[in-house]
Amino acid sequence: MRKVHVTAVGTSLLGNSSKDSNVKKVIDELGLENWERMSFNDDRQRKIADNFNRIKGVLLEYLRDKGQGGSAELDSLLSAMKRFGHSKEEVYVLMYTTNTWNSELAGEVIKDYLEEQGIHGEKTEISSISSEESFYEGINDLFDKVIKRIIKFKEEGDEVFINATPGLKPETTFLSLAGLLAGADSIYYKYQEFNNVVSLPSLPITITPKYLEWLIRFAESGYTLSNRRAKELGIPVHSLEIRSLAERKGEDAYRLREWARKIVDMYLPNGFHNYLPNGFHNETYKVVVEDKVEAEFQSEDDAYKFMEIKRKEGKKVRVETPDKVYFLGP
């Protein structure tokens, strides 16, 4: 049985190493000052990409010299291993970075350093967060690439420990909650103030039955419902919207968020889509543009994507299925 540690990778390594003479020389030469705070669309990200292996080598030498104190990720991870009595041989680390070159660089260096120390693992990449829209894209990515791996680890009999120390707070909060839903065993955090690792309360959590029922009923009738149809089904879409389980589409429609579908999927033994009533997937989704049927789809997602294209063109558009669901464009 492995002891799997799941951790975000931030850019503390880049900030900590900036005062090292060898690293500072490279930073000054390439104009990478404050690279730990570099935004995803900063033109200097390209400089990191073009000089990736060179910078990686200098940073790896820095970590070999500084060891655990070189980054927040290493400090919290290695401290937790000591706190829990985990040996290098039984530990496996799942790290995730954002799809930016500075985060990717930090992740690669830390992964290589851990391998040199005899600690094996893997690194995955999720979408960076730069707006409300990209936040939900990042959350979906986090679910697909991290939460599903936690589920797999648990199925294989591993123990899972979530490191809540590094990373963006919204991501870490979601990771902690979804991780507990997926069966994670412990969440830990290292307080720099008193240099100690604490194990946070990690009671098993579940979705309130009434919310699970509403979400399943929502899906049974289509992933997007008019307000009128939701009331007929007894689904309080406003409550789901407040909790970011659903989002408003147009003036009178609500759509179940992608990450909410993924969470519900964990609760259904045969998968979320297999739960839907017989014949549901055979529904024909008609895209009506300016009161004229323009296209038909068997997939609700395909129909919705087509509707969004037409809506952005400024056209009045909706998607219809008999007695089930319709979408309204603005």
Domains in the chain: how many in total? 3
What is the predicted pLDDT for the residue at 326?
Answer: 43
Shared domain for 111 and 221, answered yes or no, is no
Q: What is the pLDDT of residues 160-189, one digit of tens each?
A: 999 998 877 777 888 888 888 888 999 999
In terms of residue numbers, what domain contains 253?
209-276
Check pLDDT > 50 for residue 330: no
Neighbours of 291 (CB within 10 A): 8
Q: Lowest-pLDDT range, 70-74, 213-217, 294-298?
A: 294-298
What letters, b where the CB count within 10 A reaches 16 and e where it falls short, cover 73-97?
bbbbbbbbbeebebeeeebbbbbbb
Shared domain for 28 and 165, answered yes or no, is yes
Shared domain for 192 and 103, answered yes or no, is yes
Top pLDDT among 221 and 91 is at: 91
Indicate which CATH number applies to the domain containing 27.
3.40.50.10770
Q: What is the pLDDT of residues 71-128, one digit of tens each?
A: 999 999 999 999 999 999 999 999 999 889 999 999 999 999 999 999 999 999 988 6
Res. 290 pLDDT band, cuts 50 70 90: confident
- Phi/psi of residue 306, nearest 5 degrees: -65, -40
What is the predicted pLDDT for the residue at 273?
Answer: 52
